[in-house]
C-alpha cells in the first residue's frame, strides 16, 4: 500500500507528463498547419511522426482503462508491453 506522500508524488509526476504530452501535441498540430503552406524539414516530419505514434498508442491504453476492471488491467499490460505508453509517460533513468 502506498503512502499518501508517494501518491502525491506520482500524481505530480503524471501531471507534468500530461502537460509535456499536450505541449508535444500542440507543436505537432502547428507543424501540420505549417505543412499546408510550406514544405517541412526532415526533423519536423519526424516530430509529427513520433507524435502521431504516441496518439495511436494512447487510444488502446485509454480503451483498456475504460473497461470494467481496466484500472487493474492497464498496469499489468504496461509491464508486459512497455511500448504501449506514449513517450512522455515512459520512465527514464533520471525521472525515478
For 45-68, the pLDDT digits (tens) are 999 998 888 888 777 777 777 778
* 3 state DSSP class of 55: helix
46, 54 contact by CB (below 8 A): no
DSSP state, residue 41: P
User: What pLDDT does residue 96 have?
Assistant: 42
Look up the pTM and report it: 0.60
Residue 89 confidence (pLDDT) above 80: no
Amino acid at each position: 500500500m502506498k503512502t499518501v506522500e508517494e501518491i502525491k508524488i506520482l500524481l505530480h509526476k503524471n501531471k507534468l507528463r500530461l502537460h509535456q504530452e499536450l505541449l508535444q501535441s500542440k507543436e505537432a498540430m502547428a507543424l501540420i498547419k505549417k505543412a499546408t503552406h510550406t514544405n517541412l524539414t526532415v526533423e519536423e516530419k519526424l516530430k509529427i511522426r513520433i507524435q502521431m505514434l504516441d496518439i495511436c498508442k494512447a487510444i488502446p491504453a485509454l480503451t483498456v482503462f475504460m473497461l470494467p476492471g481496466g484500472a487493474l488491467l492497464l498496469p499489468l499490460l504496461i509491464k508486459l508491453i512497455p511500448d504501449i505508453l506514449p513517450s512522455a509517460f515512459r520512465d527514464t533513468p533520471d525521472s525515478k
